[in-house]
Amino acid sequence: MAKRPYFYQDLSWPELRDLTAADPVIVLPVGTTEQHGPHLPLATDYLTAGTIARAAVEQVAPRALLMEAVPYSFNEHHMDFPGTITIDVHTILDYIAAIGTSVAHHGFRHIVLFNGHGSNVPFLDVAARMITNRANAVCALVSWWSLLKQEDVAWRESTFPGGMAHGCEAETSLMLHIKPELVEMDKAVRTIDEVQTSDHIWWDIMGGSGVFFQEFFSRNTTTGVIGDPTVATAEKGRQLFDVATARFAAFLDEFRQREIRPRKDLHAQPEN
């Protein structure tokens, strides 16, 4: 494997220094270490985020640089399942914000958190704000599913909402494409009927309820899955991967052009 000119941590400090002139977007994949049912590895979320991010950055490099993924984040609601690692609320916020402000300290001005873990969303939303507010840079949050359109998943077989929630048709398909050696399809179990139903509360990567609610996973599933992984295929995964990559690459190119305007002070101006 050769040095990847788009990979932040493959570079030396003088190389990084010289790259600031090109004003690349810095992409930080954030995953987690979390149970994903009996058929998927704990690594799922940082593998999906990291792999899609790499593919997108490769498409737009040198206009973007990819950082090493963060493999540990908040997961309290999954702790009844062996193997899950959770970082507490305040720590994960400060950890991500510290990475972003460090990057900005070195002169990069556009930063993207690229997310692979559903429950990371509010944390990374807050962390992105911390970075934007504190640093001389702007920071956006993109989850790999957040740029998808309904037409992108025309192949969908599982029910909406709920069929694509966790360790599901979508995540399993993606992993079959990215890391088939880590998927054990014979252990995949459709897990939808255990989940408490509600007119107001649901989650699906293609659209969640207006009500935000997350309780301990073990209240709603004994497999760890929510959704239907049995209909997953590598081909669906390839399509998901390609479209997520393309959309993210397009975003990167637009975001890099985003003007960072000066703030305006709307206060009455003091005399001295």
Please give the residues from 156 up to 175 whose contact with a second copy meets the rule CB under 8 A. none
Residue 154 binding a second copy, by CB under 8 A:
no
Q: What is the C-alpha to C-alpha distance for residues 144 and 49, in angstroms, rounded to an integer? A: 7
Q: What is the C-alpha to C-alpha distance for residues 146 and 49, in angstroms, rounded to an integer? A: 12
Cβ(45)–Cβ(101) below 8 Å: no
Out of 61, 126, 189, 243, point to the residue binding a second copy (CB under 8 A): 126
Residue 248 token pair = 């993210």
Residue with Cβ nearer a second copy (37 or 227) = 37
| Residues in 2-31 at the binding interface with a second copy, rule: CB under 8 A | 2-3, 8-14, 16-18, 20-21
Out of 23, 58, 61, 147, point to the residue binding a second copy (CB under 8 A): 147
Q: What is the C-alpha to C-alpha distance for residues 65 and 109, in angstroms, rounded to an integer? A: 12
Binding mask 224-243 for a second copy (x = CB under 8 A): x-------------------
Residues in contact with a second copy, total (CB under 8 A)? 116
Q: From 52-60, 152-160, 232-240, 264-272, give the range in contact with a second copy by CB under 8 A.
A: 264-272
Residue 40 binding a second copy, by CB under 8 A:
yes
Q: What angle do CA 150, 151, 153 make, to 5 degrees?
A: 75
Q: What is the C-alpha to C-alpha distance for residues 262 and 81, in angstroms, rounded to an integer? A: 47
Residue with Cβ nearer a second copy (155 or 216) = 216
Q: What is the C-alpha to C-alpha distance for residues 145 and 143, in angstroms, rounded to an integer? A: 5
